[in-house]
Structure formats: structure tokens, C-alpha cells
Structure 1
């Protein structure tokens, strides 16, 4: 006959609501799974979109291109060009001065706000006179510390420089400060303050144009022009690059002095790899959540077989049963999804306030809500279909088990046998009870073996096989992902990661201190002519205790003129033994014999230089090269070969892009010392590394043009990034495991609740609390064991395969089994079910045995 169609929808929603309220635990875990999936996906999406939005906001106040090595007149001409919006003059001194524990340098910007925001004033005004400056408040704090006569920083600063920076009136606006300018201590007046929350390794002291043009420190430094273009909205990337190089040509600026804003160029290309990350994470999270929701709804349907049969008896059709189950999913979604989106928005705002945008939030809400609703409905589709197929006859015969049909007799026999065995508990001897074993003579004829908590637990696992399999599948999915993440983190060799460049074959990189903001025509050639990186110094380095070896890298710098463009380039010498260069897949002839005979060059990875010069390199073309060995020379060099790939492990530790035979370099630069750097090897670096570093710094303290960079410093720079990566990877895998744990806990608690009467009957016929706890603990172990087997086998293989694949492009990955992570995982998988079972048993003891026997689910 069916239900009244006028009240059909309202009645089904009411029934669905009552079903959820009657199964509060299952409803809670289902809602929590949906909420967490929506929360993490929305937070990650909003953060990535917010980062992109914040980046766009920053780009709106940044230059589009920097023109280097320009004059003040060229800066002004660029500003007056109708194709530009603004041109800001800029100078920067790379020379650092010490103030206690803090370093500082001098910077000049022609403006501090407007279309190009160079720095933000917290208070005060920009400097205008020679002795006026703007500094950061954290730098003021550092000066106060260094000015304290009792501080160790002040004593160290005074002993190093002979005098310390002096600060008056606490560093307020209008107060004066004495700073080192390289030509002695000078007095400055603070006209403005900035406020940066993040401490800096070297603080900027913002000076006036007068200081930038007249001081001995900065007057020789050429200007740079920070330029914003007009009408860049929707501009293609190719049009952008064409315009900036055309501007350079029109104002007499060489192509190598054009420095485009890479971030702005990327924004024009409209590429956002973060979206792929969001999609991948969303798929993992929604799959994990969907598996949990499917399991929970399946268990819920199995526990309500009698109820569904009663509904059908009074006229509910299979279609209405299916709709009722689906409406339960809609009700859960209505509660969980808005809550997850709200919390996701709050967290994303806290993480990145500058990236908050209401439009982005609305888009994410719509997409996440639609995806979550689809996953929920898809997950409950099969449980709903199963519920619709239940007949009143099946419901009347149901005992709440999840097996049907051909196994029903076996289960009934098992139940009868279990009841017989439970009754046998009354006849146990004290010694048998103490041991936890049951004599075979008391058992049913079908079960002639000792009845222990373990055998009872095994019977329960057999009778709830589908439930156990679903829970194991959910746990194994999270466990495999956890093993992959743990393998990645444990296989990350931090030292090998930091050794990728300069430190492939050593721990210390000793080179010339070259200022890239004040470039020289022939690079470090002037320094090479002084010969400080000499054989004598190399010999003195070798004499340092625990120095194992010193490797020398040679380069020589020339100026290449091509297609009207000029750029400075280092040339690397190749010997007959550098076979890796001669095996590159190159267009042209890249054999050593050809390079040496024709005084030719091999060019690798030419894309940047082709962009600078506006034309691809062709084997056989001639390059005009100017070089300096104390005198200027010019020569035509042939391009022997061009290779798009580079040598994976170059001797210099850097990418060798322009290479020539060693005999050619000898012809051009003759007896000049072409040493560019020393790579120094330590003996037992972990033990002797710090002492060797101290000895090296003491050795070069008398050379003001040498710089030492160490593996220790590189590792410190990389450690924060590595730590963040590890945290993010573990965090994602733990989130996925969390879904599985929800399913595990729900399975244990719902199983305990559905068997409350059965357990009470066992207790009433003589089963002790100790034996009952043992049975539940064994059930927990039997539930956790299959997951651990799958996780430790399939997960380990997946982790090993992932590391082997990634190590092709990431040589710092060396597979190591994650023993510590696996130990914690095993402990959690074993102890958590035990804790849940123990807690359920404790909670049950609060109710009297008689009331528990009367319990009806």
C-alpha cells in the first residue's frame, strides 16, 4: 500500500533523524570523518589560494623589471617613458658592518611607497639629507644591546672594530646614532622607523639620495631602476619579455642588465601547481573518509535489520528504505560540512591573514561542499541498496549478524556451542579458572578443544568477518600511506641534501668575495690577478690539522658580444679525462680533440643566454669574446656544440655552461692564476669539522677579498625547509590514519554495544572479569594483526619503491627502514583497541548485571 505520499518526505526525514539519534556513536564518527575531510581540504585550498592572492597583492606593489648598471639620467628617462608607470632609483651596498650580534648594510630607495612599495614606515618620514636614515625597530634593539657596556656583544664589538655604534635617546625619532660607513664612524639622525616581525641576518639602513651619491661607500655603486609597466593586465608572457627588452634597447641598456621579476612572469603564465596538490590531497582524504562512512553505515544497516523489516511490514517500500538511508547521509552532511568549512576558513585566516579573500572562500565552500556531499552519498549507496533488499522474513530470522544465507546454520550452531560452553563455566575447577583454560570434557561435542579467551575471540572474528574486513581495509589504506611517508622522512639524508652543490666532494668552499650588486667588467679576474688563492695558500690550508685534501676549481671570465648584446660569462676548462662532457647528447662536435684543435666552446643549457641575446646558438657560429689578463684582448671563438642537458656532477660543484679545452684556456689567459675556489675536505668531519672551520677562518682573516662558506652553514640554512617538509608529510599521513582510527574505535564500541547482553549472559553463568577482559583484548589483537601484516608488507614495499623511484632525481634519498615510526605505529595499533575495550568494560560495570541482561538494542 505504501506510505502517504503527502507526508512521505517529511516522515522519511523524521525516521532518518531518529535513526541517527538512536545510534549516536556511529553518527558522531561519521560526522567527524566528514568534518575532518572538509576541514583539511578547505584549509589547504584556502591557504594555497590565499598564498597566491597575497603574492598577487605584493606583486601589485612591486617592480616588473630591474634595469641594472644605469645612470640617474636613465632612471629618470625610464620614468618618463609612456610605456612605464613608475621608475624608482635604487642602490645597495653588499658591505656588512657589525653591531654586536647584528649586522647592517646601507640601502637607498628613491621612494618608499606608491606604486612600488620598497619599505613600509611604521612612523616618521623618509630620509632627505646626507645624515638622515630610516632603520628597523629590531635593529634599534640590537644597537641597545651592543651599546650596553656590560654586555658580551659590546665587548666583542669593541675589540673587533675599536669602537662600537653609539645610540642616543633610546633610538626614537629624531635621536642620533653613530654607525660605521667603511671610512670611519659617522653620526646619523633617525627620521623614520620600520617594523618587521622577523629578525634579519643583516639589517637595512635606509639612506638618502645625497648619501648614496656622495659617500665613499656608495658613490661608486651604479644605480638600478625599479620599473613598473603600464597596462599589464592580461598581457601575454611573450609580450612582457618583448616589451622590457625593447625598453632596454630604447634607453641604451644592454640585455644582460635586464632583470625581469620572475614571480610576475610566472603570474602571467597563469600556472598554479598548488591546485594539483589540493586535488591530490582532496582525493586521498575523501577516499579515506568515504571508506569510513561506508563501513559505519554498513554496520548500522546490519544492526537495524529487524527495524527495517518492521518498516516494510507496515508498508515501507524498498525505494523508501533506500531514501531513508540516504537522508541520514544528507543530515550528517548538513551538520558536518558547514562546520568544517567554517573552521577551515578560521584556520586559513589565522595561518595567512594577508591572503584572505571572500571570493576565494565562497568558491572553496561551493566546491568542497559539492565534493563532500557526493562522497557521502556515494559511500552510503551500497549500504542503502543492501537495506532495500532486506525482506520482512529475513528480518524476522536475523540475529544482527553481518553474514547471511549459507552461513546462517553455521552461525546458529556456533552460537549454540558457545552457549553450551558458557554453561560449562559453572563446572570449572579453581585451577582451570585461574589458568584461563577450559577442560575439553566440559565442551560441546562439536568443540572438543580448550575454550580460552583466544578461541572465543576467534569465534567472534569469524562471525563478524565482513565488519573486520572493512575495518582492516580502512586501517591498511592509512597504514600504507603512513609507511610511504615514514620511508620518505627516514630516507632523507640532510647532509647529502646540503651537499648537492658546492659540497659534493668537500665540506668548505673558499672563494673570492665578489659583490654581484657592484659587478665588474671581467668578474673576479681582478681578484685572480692578485693571486690570493695561490699554491702557497693551498699549501697552508693543507697544513691545518685534519684537512684531508684541497681541490682547486679553475675558471676564467670573458665578455661575450652577440646580436648587439653583451654579457659576462665564466669559462670552465676541460681535460681529456672529463669524459662526461664529451658524452653529452649535443648538437655539433663535442669531442676533446675538436675543442682543442679549433679553440672552440661547448655550451650546455643555453636557454637563458638565448633569451638574453634573442637568438639560438648554432654549432659553427663565431662568438666575439673580450677577456683580460692584465691587458684587454679580443678573440673569435667557434661554438663547437650545444647541449640542452648538463653534467650531473660537475667538478666545480656548479653548472658549467660555457666550456673550453684546457689548452685553449692556457693560450688565452697564459700564466694568470685562474683559480676560482678551493674545495676543502676534512678528515672525520663530524669529529673535527668545527675545529677545522675555526682554523680556516683564522687563516684567511688577513685577506679581505676571500670568503669561506661551510657545509655546516648550508645544513643550517636547509634544516628549516627539511623540517617543514617532514612535518607536512607526516601531518597528511596522520590525518588519513585518523580516519581509519575512527572506524576502528567505532567498530570496537559498536561491537561491544551490540554484544552487551551476550557478554552479560557469559558473566552470569560464571565467566570472570579477568577472562572477559582477556577475550576482548584478544579480539583487539585479532583486529589489529591483519592490518599490521598488510601495512608492514605492502607498506614497506610501497615505501621502498617510492624511494627508489624518487632517488633518480633526488640523490639525497637513500632508503632506510623507518624503525622508530613503525614501532610507534605498532604500539598505537595494539594499545588503542585494548584501551577502548578496557574502557567499554569499565563503563559496562557501572550497570548492574540484571539490567544488562534485560538490555535490548
Structure 2
């Protein structure tokens, strides 16, 4: 017997095509389920690789190090060195408050620097200023404060150092300007040199190495220190973001986490759909067996159907996922990464489809011709009952619900997955609300005044700290201000070893903050002597040599001392910076004695004040504080409203994405519910017509169907509540501890989100049941009784 003599593949293909043509509803449900699964996995993978690629693009060809304390000739000399592919010239004039209410950050940079800093500030239109009365500003600044001026038109600046009309030569694009209410203003070198605070040796040089891919961080850092010593640079800082982003890997945890949820949801739904389909066609499979079809051939027919439907669904889902990723992150496209995301999606979805149809295929192939002829779809085995109950539409609805427990459990599981995730995410969002997160930075009041200047803090304090008694009394005289508290005593510090150096704010340990800092300790002990300090974990993670017991050089101002790291603290629990990004949060804590030892000439180390005020007079208090700050240099003002807006933006991105994922997973259950409801009504068409012929009214039939649907929805709702509430309470407690320095915030149930979930769930079931009954009523009883199933 030759192999081709028993080749029945053509017949199997024809049977599969005929089956696909006859079951359009089943086909649509499977395609939708697979497409939804493929979209979720592909979209998650594409987003993950796009974010990584965008971050790499942002640091690619930018800068690896910055050299401070350079003059114009030294920057020019750096540009001639063969080590560097590009050197950017930069000067930060400082931040000044405007009478109109915004904060202007004045900078000077050349074209090389503008290219290097394009991820933070980009010239999107026009040119950089060249004359003293020319500036470049953002479109958002012009729309709010510049009367929508265009390039070539004039705008008025009203800050202390820059007052008058200036011609707009270029349009900048900066990140987060509106949220922080700080707008970058690029000035010309002519305006810089005329500025009263100009220091010829105040330039910064941002350098980008040639062959940076072949050079490691240590090699580039060592070379920068040599060049800094050669040119007399006061400080060398390495761009840690460059090295972190350049070597960042793809977030596979998120991808495979979503894939696991999708596999669970898709498996339940697709298996349910094919099981119902097999039950509906079981007599056809029995007829095929009777005329000689083997179990293997039946198995191949069902598998071919699933493969074809799965392939169509995967193609649609992958196209939607890739398209969505390109639409959201067009700059994150990477051909190889996108190709890997598509292959990963295809593999996961193929496994899901193959495993989902395994059981239905086994049922179809294992049925004997005699069993198939006896089997009636819709007449599943019912569970015996000891009591005979009175028949009514309600009891019949409950009986229909209990006919097939596997089907009921399948629907409840598929509906519950999205509901539980939605409950957990919504609960976390309520636990870490933007108002509560912002309040961490404002434990005493809604406003802060702090030192904000390009000039070093120790120089300002030596000359006479503006946060003095005179200012305190002026603040207390404002109507609505109740108290003024010293929130932080700090100095800018440089610290590290001979190989590695860093910079950040060093806060003084005082009686008011000692307990909070001690609660944030993750290892070591509190400083026991003058030359012991605490270091933030964010620095220790990047520099493994900086650990408990290690020594390092600490520079406060111009004075350096050797200190020992006595402990490490969690910087997330002690975040106390200003502005939306809080970049001046404490990186170190040192004893008060060390501050006085290094700077005995400073009387007050106050860096930040908290303003306690009457909430009912918030508007007048804020206006008065703005006037006070605008009349003084070297002072900045921070408000809780700025932090709330930033937290809202972050929450909408993070929690909004997770809630969208929850609703998409819920769609798996919706597909399963729709398919099951329609299949039940179609398979019971003959049964319902018999009931109607013996006196069941259309209203009673509708009530029976609705009761059955309500049972599915109620079963799913109880599953969400019973499993989801305890799980979300545990998760929220952990999130609360990490977000609020160990404090557990009382759990809040998300009534709005879950109310919407229940409304959609119950409403959809009622609509489906009523629609199917009305559709059946359009046919005569005779036609329905003639139907085979």
C-alpha cells in the first residue's frame, strides 16, 4: 500500500471549509477572541520595546560627561581635542519669577549644545538668538503669556534681570513646562555677557566621545578627569542616565505577565466556544464516523478549523498591536525588536489556540456513531434533585443555569479575570491618590519657599541667608498665614572616591527630622559621630563601593572632609525636593556638627520653609507669597498644586493603562458570554417552542432567559468580590507601606469603577436575552419545532 493511496487530506480540507462556511457566528467569536489576545500581547511587547528604543534614542549621540567651571576659550579648546565628537557650550543664568505668575529659567547654549540636549529642550522652528534683544521660547509660553506671538514678533519679559520687549527667533519644545510652570528662555551670548551676574568661568561643557560604543564608563570617566585636571575644571560629572538608558533591557516581566493573563482568559473562552461548537455538530461527526471517517480524520477537521480561525485572528490582532504601538510611539520603531514582538505574539497565541481546542478535539474524535445520534445539543446532563419544585419562569431559569456546570464555571472565570484586575488596579489608584502622594512633600502646609539660584547655597548663606527673621515676620503678617516652619537645612555636596564622584543635596540631621530619617534606614545605623553620614540607596545602587562602613570624600562648598557611611536610607521615603520632579531631594544626611565644622561663618543653614496657612484663604495667600518671592532674588516657591497636577499626569498614564488592560481582559468574558447566550438560545429553540405551545407566554420566556443570564452575571460578580477584595486589600497595604513610609492607608473600595463594571455586566446580559427571545418570536412555532437544534 503506497502512502498516497490513503491520503484523505483533500477531503479533510473540504470538510473543514464547509464547517467554517456553516458556522459564521462561531467563527466570528473565535476570531474576535484570538484577535483580542494577539492585540494585547503584541501591543504590550511593542510598547515595551518602543519605550526602551526611545530611551536609547534620547541618549544616543548626546553626552557622556559635563565639565563645569570653564571659560569660553577652554570650551573652544575642548572642541579641538580628538577624543570628542561633539562639545556643547552651556550657561545657566538661573530662574527668576515673573509678575505674571510664571517662572523663567534663562539659559544660553550653542547649536551643538541644543543638539545634545534635544531630549530635554529642542529647537523645533527658527534659529537660536544672536542679538541681545532676541530670545527663543516655547510654544506653550507664547500661547499663555506671549499673546500667541510668532517668530519675528516681540514679546515682553518682566523678570528682574530681563525686562522689556524681545524678538522671538526660535520656538523651543520643552518637557513638562506647563505642569511645573517653569519655562525655558534661551538668550544670546551678547545678552549673557551683559547680564550683571555673568561669570566668565561659569560655562559648562557637555562632551560626547568618539567611539562611545567601544569605550566603557570607567574609561571615559578616567579620560574626563585627566582633561579636567589639564584645563583646571572645577567639577566633572558623568551622565548616569546615558549609561543606564544605553544598557537598559526590555521589560520581559511585564510582557510575560500580560501574556499569562491573556493565555488564561483566551484559553477559557476559546475552549468554551469550540466545546459548544462540537456539541452542536456532534451528530454530524457521528454521521462521518458511520460512513468510515476515523477519529484521526475528525481530529484533523477540527484542528484545521481552529488553525484557520486562529491565523485570521492573530493577523488582525498583530496588525492592530503594531499599528497601536506606532501610533503612540512613532519614534520607538525598531525593525528587529518589532519582528521579535510579532514572533513572540504568534507563538503565544498559537500555543493558546492549540491548548484550547485540545479537549473539544478529543470529544469530537472520541464520539461513537451511536452516542452521537442519541446526543441532543442543549440537553446536557442535569444534576439530580431530591425535591420536586413548582415550575415557573424563575425556577426554569435557575434550572437552565445549572444544566452544565462546566459551562457556568467557564463563563464566571472568563468574566472574573478582568473584573478582579479592574478591582485591584482601581483600589491601588484610590490608595495612592494624587492628593495623598503630593501631601508627602507638604506635611505641614500647601506652600514652600526655598533657595533657588545658580549661585552656590553656601555663598548665599554667607552673604546673608534670605530665609531670615525679617522674611519670617513679613510672611506671618500675610492674612491667612498661621506659621512658618524650617523644613530643611541643606547644602549642595560633592562626594565620592578618587575613581567616582557624584553630587546632590546634603541635609542636616535635626531633632525634627531624625525620627523620619531613622524610619527610612534600610541598613546600618544613625551617625554616632561628627564624621559619619547617611547615604541614599539610589547612589549606592550605582556605586557598589559606597556601602555601610566605606569611607569617601565629602565636599560642602569649598571644604572637603573624609567621612564614613554609617547607614543607607531609602530615598523614596525621604523625598523632600521642590518642583514636580523633586530633583533637589536629599541624597545624604549629615550631623549638625559637621555643617558647623566646615562652615562656622554661616549662621543659618535654612534651605526650605513650609508655610502653614488657612485653606479657606488659599488664593489670597498664594498671591501674597508670589509677590513676596518676586521681589527677592535667590528664592523660589513651590506649591502642592504643582505636585498634584504632576501626580495626576503620572497616575493617568500608569493606572489608566492598567485599567484599560482590565477592560480588555473583561472583553474575553464578554465574548464568552455572548457566544454562550446565543448558543443556548439557538440550541433550545425547539425546546422553547414546545414550552410556548403548551402555554408559556413570550413574557415568561423572556423572564426565564433573563433569570438564567442574571445567574451568570451574579456568579461572576460574587467571584470578583470574594477573590478580588481580599487580594486587593493585601496589594493596597503593600503599596501604601512603600508609598507612605510604612503607613497603611485605610482600604477604599472603588465603588464607581465596580459599579460601572456591574452595570455593563448585568445590562449586557439583559439586552442579549431580550434580543434573542424577540428574534425567536418572529418565527412561527411550527418552524421552530421543525428545527433540529
5+ long unaligned stretches in structure 1: 147-169, 415-445, 629-633
1:503 aligns with 2:442: yes
Q: Distance in 2 between matches of 1:777 and 1:582?
A: 60
- Aligned residues of 1:182 and 1:217 also touching (Cα < 8 A): no
CA positional deviation for 1:829: 2.2
CA positional deviation for 1:785: 1.9
CA positional deviation for 1:111: 1.6
1:11 aligns with 2:15: no
| 1:301-700 equivalent positions in 2, closer than 5 A | 301-401=278-378, 403=380, 449-500=389-440, 502-512=441-451, 514-515=452-453, 518-520=454-456, 523-527=457-461, 529-542=463-476, 544-553=478-487, 555=489, 557=491, 570=506, 572-575=508-511, 578=514, 590=526, 594-595=528-529, 599-605=530-536, 608=539, 616=546, 639=563, 641-646=565-570, 654-655=585-586, 657-661=588-592, 665=596, 669=600, 672-683=603-614, 685=615, 687-698=616-627, 700=629
Match of 2:655 in 1: 726
Residues 1:288 and 1:244: Cα distance change in structure 2 (over 3 Å): farther
1:58 is paired with a residue whose SS is: helix
Q: Paired residues, what number?
A: 773
Match of 1:66 in 2: 66
- Aligned residues of 1:43 and 1:348 also touching (Cα < 8 A): yes
Residues 1:353 and 1:261: Cα distance change in structure 2 (over 3 Å): same
Match of 1:830 in 2: 762
CA positional deviation for 1:296: 0.7
1:847 aligns with 2:786: no
| 1:222-301 equivalent positions in 2, closer than 5 A | 222-254=202-234, 257-272=235-250, 274-301=251-278
- Aligned residues of 1:39 and 1:341 also touching (Cα < 8 A): yes
More contact order relative to length (CA 8 Å, sep ≥ 6): 2
Q: Distance in 2 between matches of 1:315 and 1:480?
A: 48
CA positional deviation for 1:180: 5.9
Q: Distance in 1 between matches of 2:332 and 2:781?
A: 59
- Aligned residues of 1:70 and 1:222 also touching (Cα < 8 A): yes
- Aligned residues of 1:646 and 1:655 also touching (Cα < 8 A): no
2:738 is paired with a residue whose SS is: coil
CA positional deviation for 1:449: 3.9
1:506 is paired with a residue whose SS is: coil
5+ long unaligned stretches in structure 2: 578-584
1:552 is paired with a residue whose SS is: strand
- Aligned residues of 1:606 and 1:657 also touching (Cα < 8 A): no
- Aligned residues of 1:131 and 1:211 also touching (Cα < 8 A): yes
1:716 aligns with 2:652: no
Residues 1:380 and 1:250: Cα distance change in structure 2 (over 3 Å): farther
Q: Distance in 2 between matches of 1:669 and 1:92?
A: 29
2:443 is paired with a residue whose SS is: coil
- Aligned residues of 2:55 and 2:245 also touching (Cα < 8 A): no
Match of 1:432 in 2: none
- Aligned residues of 2:34 and 2:266 also touching (Cα < 8 A): yes
Q: Distance in 2 between matches of 1:54 and 1:706?
A: 36
TM-score w.r.t. length of structure 2: 0.87
2:8 is paired with a residue whose SS is: helix
1:93 is paired with a residue whose SS is: strand
CA positional deviation for 1:451: 1.5
Q: Distance in 2 between matches of 1:187 and 1:219?
A: 25
Residues 1:539 and 1:648: Cα distance change in structure 2 (over 3 Å): farther
Q: Distance in 1 between matches of 2:522 and 2:177?
A: 47
Match of 2:580 in 1: none
Q: Distance in 2 between matches of 1:189 and 1:576?
A: 50
The one-character-per-residue Cα deviations of 1:357-412 (angstroms, maximum 9, x if unpaired) are 333332222221122112101111111112221111211221225746xx6xx78x
Q: Distance in 2 between matches of 1:524 and 1:465?
A: 75
Residues 1:99 and 1:343: Cα distance change in structure 2 (over 3 Å): farther
Match of 1:40 in 2: 40
Match of 1:152 in 2: none
- Aligned residues of 1:65 and 1:261 also touching (Cα < 8 A): yes
Root mean square deviation of aligned Cα: 3.9
- Aligned residues of 2:62 and 2:208 also touching (Cα < 8 A): yes
The one-character-per-residue Cα deviations of 1:33-79 (angstroms, maximum 9, x if unpaired) are 11111122222322332233233333334223222222223222322
CA positional deviation for 1:736: 0.5
Residues 1:556 and 1:325: Cα distance change in structure 2 (over 3 Å): closer
Q: Distance in 2 between matches of 1:47 and 1:310?
A: 49
The one-character-per-residue Cα deviations of 1:693-744 (angstroms, maximum 9, x if unpaired) are 3344455554333332121222122221122223112101101011111101
Structure label with greater radius of gyration? 1
2:608 is paired with a residue whose SS is: strand
Q: Distance in 1 between matches of 2:552 and 2:175?
A: 53
Q: Distance in 2 between matches of 1:328 and 1:704?
A: 75
Residues 1:386 and 1:80: Cα distance change in structure 2 (over 3 Å): same
CA positional deviation for 1:105: 5.0
Identify the range of structure 1 (810-819 vs 459-468) with the bigger mean alpha-carbon deviation: 810-819
Residues 1:242 and 1:295: Cα distance change in structure 2 (over 3 Å): farther
1:145 is paired with a residue whose SS is: coil
TM-score w.r.t. length of structure 1: 0.80
2:683 to 754, 759, 770: 754
